[in-house]
Amino acid sequence: MSRQVLYGWGRTASSVAQVVTASDEAAVASILATSPHVVARGLGRSYGDAAQLSGGVVLDNRELGGIGDISDDGVVTVGAGVSIEQLLTRSIPQGWFVPVTPGTRQVTMGGAVAADVHGKNHHVDGSFARHVLELRLVTPSGPLTVSPTTDAELFWATMGGMGLTGVMTSVTIQMLKIETDQVLVDTDRFADLDAVMAAMAEGDQRYRYSVAWVDCMTRGAHMGRAILTRGDHAARSDVPTPQLQAPRAAKIAVPFDAPSGLLNPLTIKLFNEAWFRSAPSHRARQAQSLSTFFHPLDGVRDWNRLYGRRGFVQYQFCVPDDAGETVVEAIRQLSASRVPSFLAVLKRFGASNPGPLSFPMPGWTLALDLPVGPAKLAGVLDDLDELVLGVGGRLYFAKDARLGPDKIRAMYPRLDEFLRIKHRVDPENRLTSDLARRLHLVGT
Amino acid sequence: MENAFGQPQNIIVLGGSSDIARAIVKKLCAARAHTVVLAGRNATLLDQASAEAREYGATKTETVLFDAMDPSNAVRTIAECFAKVGDQVDLVLIALGQLGDQRHDENDASAATGSAMVNYVWPVAALAELRHRLVEQGRGRIVVLSSVAAVRVRRSSYLYGGAKAGLDRLCDGLADSLEGTGVTLQLVRPGFVRSKMTAGQKEVPFTTGVNEVAENVLRGLASGERVIWSPPILRYVFALLRHLPAPLWRKIDR
């Protein structure tokens, strides 16, 4: 047990909490029983304040390990503190891939469920929740097994519930069969946003994986120029030497905080330019490793330090299918404001799931990395909130570090339903977080 | 809770009717602040400031009365403020201060002590209690209104400037003591500001209004810099003025 300063991946708004570990369900239950306020924390990859709790107890879940045998049909039970990297290291050689992965392998199972993470295959396979068969959840009312058929409402409240329904100890998921550790990737370059969005709307259904990188710094005719990469797992017959190799750990690390301002409009513009030009205008069926395709940033450890001491925020929103022009308008406002933003990620979402706080909805999602610093940034993002809300869209809790409480009910109209379920298992609101307090998710 | 841009939701202002404090509170309320507790000695002015805060977006305002001439009430005053917030406190702004009548007070032991009480002793007592509470809370921000008068004390306002200098220097050490606690302390060093405190005084170069100070403070909350100068150029002006030979310094201070 130790007092530690904690912050999210964006390295903003830190706070101090008692950090404790637990390696089994009984230990988790005892921490929950003796602490007035608790939240679980995994690898700290949520960008804002979701996995911190000032003055409270933060349960580091990484000792909740253990990877069970993967069954013949790809079902595996994994400790909530096991990372996607650890799971892949075990599963890829056996021909299994995680059904959904975000842009990093450094996410625990507990974190993946709590944030109901999505990946490049959301338009086809949905978010992480769809592949969860069952989980063990320690609530202040006791440990429970929940699944879509056993206590379905608690199960779905936990998917995307930001850890506010209990502390997960293990998760049972359905893995995806793969024949090789390669992905066949089609790459296309587009000179503007309309073109890439049209291509995605028209062709994404033909691919399991699809994502576009958008340049938000270029104004005028080439506003929102983009690189679209789409693909699927390579079959044995697709590659000359089929292999099933586990991912390798990062070789490069950022050893210290870069000066704030290293990532400024000029350097970001140069980077975006180089990135755009490095992509071919069209290339089909290029074989890439799983790591290169899914987790390019995992190659550099602690890359968030590049943003310096002030840190950065990620702004990720989704809007319904018929509000595609909102994406265009958001990028227009951002490029007009001249606030520097790194390559943005644009993706199509498929169907949403029954989770009352789950983020994805059918339509579009855009994620932007923005260094903290420019005085106008706060106002620019407040304006974007209005834009997103105006078309029935919302922001992603796992990324947010700056919203106020006033827009939450409009973004998540089923919050009261969530709170009713939470109250059933956590009547004293023991499970809370800095995020939950900031957004008044569990009352103040 | 405070967000990634240093925009607080729950704030306490000690010296809540000061013009600079009111300008800062307005801007904070326009951003994210919804609970505002204003402490000071004049109930009417505090009520006015509360109404203003609500006009700018605060949904809950409370006032607390205290007399800064008596440091023994500091602990109780802070306790009352925290109780009225009723939640974690994101930001405490220490804005009390009294310029006084230098020419009169400099030969009057009791008046001279009074200036030290309001400008130094009461804030020091308050800081001790705030430090304790916020460290326990695991986070929070203290913003202390100092002055460029603290950087080099002037003959024409040495009672005020001297007390502010004591507070300013003490806060430097206090801020260091907070490393790793989740709590931070920032000093604001405005130049000459047009306000009711300085009414009738002769304006000097780099004079600003209260809104400019507030603007710079909000920017400083986002950047987290230890000392917020207003206007920012005074950082460099005073780097020079601090080392000006005494005869020259006396000459420009008239």
Task: Express each pLDDT in A3-45 by its tens digit.
Answer: 999 999 999 999 999 999 999 999 999 999 999 999 999 999 9
Q: How far apart are CA B91 and CA A21, in angstroms?
A: 31
Q: Would you place residue A277 in the very low, low, confident or very high pLDDT band (cuts 50, 70, 90)?
A: confident
Does the distance separating the beta carbons of B139 and A14 come in below 8 Å? yes
Q: Residue B23: which region, alpha, beta or left (left: phi > 0; alpha: psi -120 to 50)?
A: alpha
**Mean pLDDT, rounded, of chain B:** 96
CATH classification of the domain holding B38 = 3.40.50.720
| Amino acid identity, position A27 | A
Cis check for the bond before B190: say yes or no (omega within 30 of 0): no
**What is the Cα–Cα distance from A407 to A387, expressed in whole angstroms?**
12
Q: How far is B103 from chain A (nearest CA, A)?
A: 42
Query: What is the model's pLDDT at position A254?
Result: 87
Report pLDDT digits (tens) over A400-429.
Answer: 999 999 999 999 999 999 999 999 999 999
Task: Please tell me if residue A49 touches chain B, with a CB cutoff of 8 Å.
Answer: yes
Tokens 């507990």: give the residue: A110
Q: Which residues, at least 6 apart from A287, have a Cβ–Cβ distance to it below 8 Å? A: A182, A183, A184, A185, A234, A238, A239
Does any domain span residue B218? yes
Q: Label residue A72 by pLDDT band (50, 70, 90).
A: very high
Q: Among candidates A434, A362, A441, which has minimal Cα distance to A409?
A: A441
- DSSP category for residue B217: H
More confident residue, B123 or B198: B123
Contacts of B154 (CB under 8 A, 6+ apart): B161, B253
CA quadruple A356, A358, A364, A366: dihedral sign: positive
Q: How confident is the model at residue B50 (pLDDT cuts 50, 70, 90)?
A: very high
pLDDT for A113? 98
Phi, psi of A96 (to 5 degrees): -125, 140
Q: For residue A316, give the CATH number of its domain.
A: 3.30.70.2520
Q: Is residue B17 part of a domain?
A: yes
Please indicate whether, in this complex, the C-beta atoms of B137 and A54 are within 8 angstroms of each other: yes
Residues in chain B closer than 8 A to A405 (CB atoms): 9, 34
Tell me if B182 and A403 make a contact (CB, 8 A cut-off): no
Residue B194 counted as domain residue = yes
Q: Looking at the predicted structure, is the pLDDT value of residue A187 above 90?
A: yes
Residues of A in contact with B139 (CB under 8 A): 14-16, 54-55, 434
Taking 80 as the threshold, does the pLDDT of residue A372 lie above it? yes
Tally of domains in chain A: 2
**DSSP symbols for A318-369:** EEEGGGHHHHHHHHHHHHHHT-----EEEEEE----S-TT----SEEEEEEE
CA A176, A299, A192: angle at the middle one, nearest 5?
80
Q: A interface mutation test: which of B7, B60, B84, B139 has the most A CBs within 10 A? A: B139
Q: Does residue A116 contact residue A125 with C-beta atoms inside 8 Å?
A: no
According to the model, what pLDDT value does residue A301 have? Answer: 87
Flag if B1 and A434 touch (Cβ within 8 Å). Answer: yes
B 63-102 residues inside an 8 A Cβ radius of A: 86-88
Of A10, A15, A373, the CB nearest to B138: A15
Please indicate, yes or no, whether residues A136 and A215 belong to a single structural domain of this protein. no
Tell me the C-alpha distance between B192 and A36, whole Å: 48
Instruction: In whole angstroms, give the CA distance from residue A171 to residue A385.
Output: 34
pLDDT of residue A1: 67
Is the pLDDT assigned to residue B84 strictly greater than 90? yes
CB contact under 8 A, B139 and A16: yes
Domain assignment of residue A227, yes or no: yes
**Residue A2 forms part of a structural domain:** no
Tell me the whole-structure pTM to 2 decimals.
Answer: 0.94
| CA B149 centroid distance within chain | 13
B1 touches chain A (CB under 8 A): yes
Residues A174 and A197 in one domain: no
Quote the pLDDT of residue A335: 87
In this structure, the dihedral spanned by the alpha carbons of residues A419, A424, A426 and A431, taken in order and rounded to 10 degrees, is -30
For A72, B118, B158, the CA distances from B164, given in Å and listed in that order, are 74, 10, 9
Residue B207's pLDDT band (cuts 50, 70, 90): very high
Q: Which residues in chain B are closer than 8 Å to A260, comparing Cβ atoms?
A: 223
pLDDT number for residue A133: 98
Size of interface A-B (CB pairs under 8 A): 84
- State the DSSP H helix or E strand holding residue A129, giving kind and residue range, or none if neither: none
Cross-chain Cβ contact B3/A437 below 8 Å? no
Question: B88: domain range?
Answer: 10-252
From A130, A153, A178, the end of a domain falls on A178
Q: Please report whether residue A338 resides in a domain.
A: yes
Q: At which of A178, A196, A212 does a domain end?
A: A178
Average pLDDT, stretch B12-20?
97
Q: Inter-chain contact A372–B5, Cβ cutoff 8 Å?
A: yes
Would you call A437 and B1 a contact, using CB atoms and an 8 Å cutoff? Answer: yes
Would you call B27 an interface residue with chain A, using a CB distance cutoff of 8 Å? no
Tell if the CB–CB gap between A310 and B88 is shorter than 8 Å: no
A103 has a pLDDT exceeding 90: yes
Chain B nearest-CA distance from A102, in A, is 23
The pLDDT of residue A270: 87
> Do residues A171 and A77 both lie within one domain?
yes
A217, pLDDT greater than 70: yes
Tokens of residue A196, six digits: 């890439």
CA angle A91-A92-A96, nearest 5°? 70
Residue of A nearest to B133 (CA): A55
Closest-CA residue of chain B to A57: B138
Q: A266 Cβ partners below 8 Å, 6+ apart?
A: none
Is residue A135 domain-shared with residue A239, that is, in the same domain?
Answer: no
Residue B63 lies in a domain: yes
Using the Cβ of B233 and the Cβ atoms of chain A, whether some distance falls under 8 Å is answered with no
Burial class of residue A314 in the structure, from the number of CB atoms within 10 Å of its CB (0-12 exposed, 13-18 middle, 19+ buried): buried
- pLDDT confidence band for B11 (50 / 70 / 90): very high
This model of the complex carries an ipTM of 0.92
Whether the pLDDT of residue A444 is over 70: the answer is no
**Cβ-based neighbour number of residue A421 at 10 Å:** 20
Residues found in chain B: 254
Which pairs count as long-range contacts for A133-136, CB under 8 Å and 24+ apart, including other chains? A133/A75, A133/A172, A133/A173, A133/A174, A134/A77, A134/A171, A134/A172, A135/A80, A135/A168, A135/A170, A135/A171, A135/A172, A136/A25, A136/A80, A136/A168, A136/A169, A136/A170, A136/A171
Q: Kindly state whether residue A268 falls inside one of the protein's structural domains.
A: yes
Sheet containing strand A226-233, strands side by side: A282-289, A182-190, A226-233, A209-214, A344-349, A363-371, A312-320, A394-395
* DSSP type of residue A303: G
User: For residue A190, is it left (φ>0), alpha (ψ between -120 and 50) or beta?
Assistant: beta
Do the domain assignments include residue A389? yes
Number of domains chain B is built from: 1
**Other residues' Cβ atoms within 10 Å of the Cβ of residue B200:** 5
CB contact under 8 A, B3 and A403: yes
Neighbours of A152 (CB within 10 A): 12
In a domain, A47, yes or no: no
Name the percent of chain B lying above pLDDT 90: 94
**Which two three-digit tokens encode residue B252?**
């420009």
For A153, the domain range is 62-178
pLDDT in tens, A294-319: 998 888 888 888 888 889 999 999 99
Same domain, yes or no: A238 and A285: yes
Asked if A128 and A118 count as a contact pair (C-beta separation under 8 A), the reply is yes
pLDDT digits (tens, 9 = 90+) for A325-346: 999 999 999 989 988 887 799 9
Residue numbers in B near A48 (CB within 8 A): 4
**Whether residue A134 is found in the same domain as residue A188:** no
Res. A131: pLDDT tops 80: yes
CATH number, domain containing residue A106:
3.30.465.10
To the nearest 10°, the Cα dihedral for B85, B91, B94, B95? -90
Mean pLDDT computed over B71-78 = 98
**Could you tell me what percentage of chain B is helix, strand and coil, using 3-state DSSP and rounding each to the nearest 5?**
50, 15, 35
For the segment A172-186, the average pLDDT, to the nearest whole number, is 97
Per-residue model confidence as pLDDT tens digits over A58-69: 999 999 999 999
Contact of B7 with chain A, judged by CB distance below 8 Å, is answered with yes
Indicate if A148 and A249 belong to the same structural domain.
no
The C-alpha atoms of residue A300 and residue A303 are separated, in whole angstroms, by 6
Rounded to an integer, the average pLDDT of A185-212 is 95
| Average of per-residue pLDDT across B198-225 | 92
Q: Is residue A163 one of the residues assigned to a domain?
A: yes
- Whether the CB of A372 is below 8 Å from some CB of chain B: the reply is yes
The answer to whether the beta carbons of residues A242 and A180 sit under 8 Å apart is: yes
Residue contact B3–A438, C-beta within 8 A: yes
Interface test with B, best of A6, A16, A307 (most B CBs within 10 A): A16
Residue A45 inside a domain? The answer is no
Chain B residues closer than 8 Å to A438 by CB:
1-3, 9
Active site residues of B: 160
- Report whether B213 contacts B198 (CB < 8 A): no
How confident is the model at residue A21, as a pLDDT?
Answer: 97
Same domain, A166 and A235: no
Question: Per the structure block, which two tokens stand in for A311?
Answer: 């840190």
Supply the mean pLDDT for chain A: 95
Give the pLDDT band (50/70/90) at residue A275.
confident
Look at the block and give the residue holding tokens 């790194």. A342
Same domain, A281 and A173: no
Residue A249's pLDDT is what? 80
